[in-house]
Amino acid sequence: PKRFWFAVGDLLFWQLVPFGINAFGRQEVWSDVGPTTWRNNLVYPWQWDDNTFQNNQFGHPYQGAAYYNSARTNGYDFWASSIWPFAGSAMWEIFFEAWAPAPNDFINTSVGGVILGESLYRLSRLPLDNTARGGERVWREIASGLLNPTSGLNRLLRGETGRVSA
């Protein structure tokens, strides 16, 4: 079944956790946001950013994959899930960063998120076996969760990690 509100909760989780770590733990300048920065991000033009290769080419697609799998692991198909990284990236660029939104971040997060998200979704399904029990089941769930943390979290919250079924 499609679980819209669970998917929204997952998407917000994957936005609030990194934001909270950077805003409150690391006190990053870019995370000092509020109504003024939100207005600026909506009014002023977007600007290309010069973040590191690792951040732009790995971090952003990985974040987008989490947005994608927020929907994919909650019952949505490939095409419906593909919308989520675009929405999540736009939300992040406008509401979670004090710096001007960056088109390269948006593209890397959304397009990269769909590609990496579906890959991780499919790979994370390979080790799963709902008929397995004991230690074998634990290791299968851990392997799947490492490949796709969103799926692992959802399976844990829904009680699927220990439920034996066909």
pLDDT (average), residues 105-127: 97
- Model confidence pTM above 0.85: yes
What backbone torsions phi and psi does residue 129 show, to the nearest 5 degrees?
Answer: -150, 100
Residue 37 has pLDDT above 90, yes or no: yes
Name the average pLDDT for the chain. 96
Tens of pLDDT, residues 10-29 = 999 999 999 999 999 999 99
Q: Which of 96, 156, 109 is nearest to 128 (CA)?
A: 156
The pLDDT score that the predictor gives to residue 71 is: 98
Residue 132 has pLDDT above 90, yes or no: yes
Residue 97 has pLDDT above 90, yes or no: yes
The pLDDT score that the predictor gives to residue 14 is: 97
> Cβ of 60: how many Cβ atoms within 10 Å?
26
The pLDDT score that the predictor gives to residue 52 is: 92
Tens of pLDDT, residues 134-164 = 999 999 999 999 999 999 999 999 999 989 9
Q: Hey, CA dihedral for 87, 85, 107, 98, is it positive or negative?
A: positive
Distant-in-sequence, close-in-space partners of 63: CB < 8 Å, separation ≥ 6: 14, 18, 88, 89, 92, 109, 113
